[in-house]
């Protein structure tokens, strides 16, 4: 199939799971699709795809953000056993190979090495990876262009850089981390070193940080925001949603009117969003 940025086909996007329990997202059309991260077991991925009427055989590619286990659990299995190409940076490929919990390997034509800032093509999707600060071997966000849509996904974000802002500002649809509530983390049961690891600028974004960034950088091009990778111990979906909504409304942005806001839940299949 030839690349066609102006394809009239319908496109779908949804989360199979989001959070440290496992991360996996789907983006595709009526003919084929791709996964972003594979932090669930293959049987769970297959089952959740089927709940939205998608057969595993239509998955053309897997894109991996970084090499933490909640994002790569099934990555090498999908490549070795199901012959699905895995796209990510050389450093992330190395991290997957060196992970002691990963038993399969990504070899040959299924090992696709990408470079940040250099667009590549998968069928009707033009994709650009960009740098995302995080305490992994490497971490990539992804900017997708398809038909007349632009979708940006950035998860496990230590802090928001100018490069990230550039790709977020171009998006019509945005998936962005809102990992923890600052009071819950500060007063919670985590040891001090873990609290520091989460909040030191190379770990995760808080609800407040995400809310303030979105309010400051909102563009009228943006139609959908999904908050992802919520902590199970230091956050709650309603709290993340209200924190971001309150800041947006305070800055004159009408949630539900000019932009839709939603939360991807932990280990829960989201509704399917059709574009």
Residue 5: predicted pLDDT: 45
**110 CB-side CA count, 13 A:** 18
Q: What is the pLDDT of residues 113-128, one digit of tens each?
A: 999 999 999 999 999 9
Residue 167 has pLDDT above 90, yes or no: yes
Residue 266: predicted pLDDT: 97
Segment 179-187 shows an average pLDDT of: 98
Residues in CB range of 78: below 8 A, 6 or more apart: 35, 38, 42, 59, 62, 84, 86
Burial track 187-209 (b if 16+ CB lie within 10 A, e otherwise): eeebeeeebeebbeebbbbbbbb
Helix (H) or strand (E) holding 74: none
Residue 10: predicted pLDDT: 87
Vertex 26 angle, CA 166 and 219, to 5°? 30
**Cα–Cα distance measured from residue 33 to residue 191, given in angstroms and rounded to the nearest whole number:** 41
Q: What is the pLDDT of residues 244-259, one digit of tens each?
A: 999 999 999 999 999 9
Strand partners, 144: 127, 151
As a whole number, the mean pLDDT across the chain is 95
DSSP class of residue 66 equals B
Q: What is the pLDDT of residues 4-62, one digit of tens each?
A: 444 447 899 999 999 999 999 999 998 999 999 999 999 999 999 999 999 999 999 99
Torsion from C-alpha of 33, 37, 43, 46, nearest 10 degrees? -20
Segment 55-80 shows an average pLDDT of: 97
Segment 196-224 shows an average pLDDT of: 96
Residue 9: predicted pLDDT: 73
Q: Are strands 11-17 and 224-228 parallel, antiparallel or unpaired?
A: unpaired
């Amino acid at each position: 199939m030839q690349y066609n940025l102006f394809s009239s086909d319908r496109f779908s996007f949804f989360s199979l799971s989001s959070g440290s329990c496992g991360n996996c997202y789907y983006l595709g059309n009526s003919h084929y699709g791709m996964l972003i991260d594979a932090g669930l077991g293959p049987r769970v991925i297959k089952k959740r795809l089927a709940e939205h009427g998608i057969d595993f055989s239509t998955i053309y590619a897997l894109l991996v953000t970084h090499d933490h286990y909640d994002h790569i659990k099934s990555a090498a299995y999908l490549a070795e056993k199901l012959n699905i190409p895995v796209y990510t940076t050389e450093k992330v490929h190395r991290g997957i190979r060196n992970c002691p919990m990963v038993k399969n390997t990504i070899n040959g034509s299924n090992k696709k090495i990408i470079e940040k800032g250099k667009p590549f093509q998968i069928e009707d999707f033009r994709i650009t990876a960009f740098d995302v600060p995080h305490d992994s071997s490497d971490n990539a966000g992804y900017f997708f262009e398809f038909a007349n849509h632009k979708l940006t996904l950035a998860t496990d974000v230590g802090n928001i850089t100018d490069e990230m802002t550039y790709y977020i500002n171009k998006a019509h649809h945005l998936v962005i981390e809102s990992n923890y509530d600052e009071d819950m983390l500060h007063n919670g049961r985590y040891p001090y070193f873990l609290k520091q690891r989460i909040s030191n600028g190379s770990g995760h974004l808080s609800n407040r940080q995400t809310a303030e960034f979105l309010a400051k950088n909102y563009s009228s091009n943006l139609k959908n925001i999904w908050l992802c990778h919520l902590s199970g111990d230091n956050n709650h979906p309603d709290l993340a949603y209200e924190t971001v909504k309150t800041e947006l409304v305070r800055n004159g942005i009408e949630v539900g009117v000019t932009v839709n806001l939603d939360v991807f839940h932990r280990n829960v299949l989201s509704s399917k969003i059709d574009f």
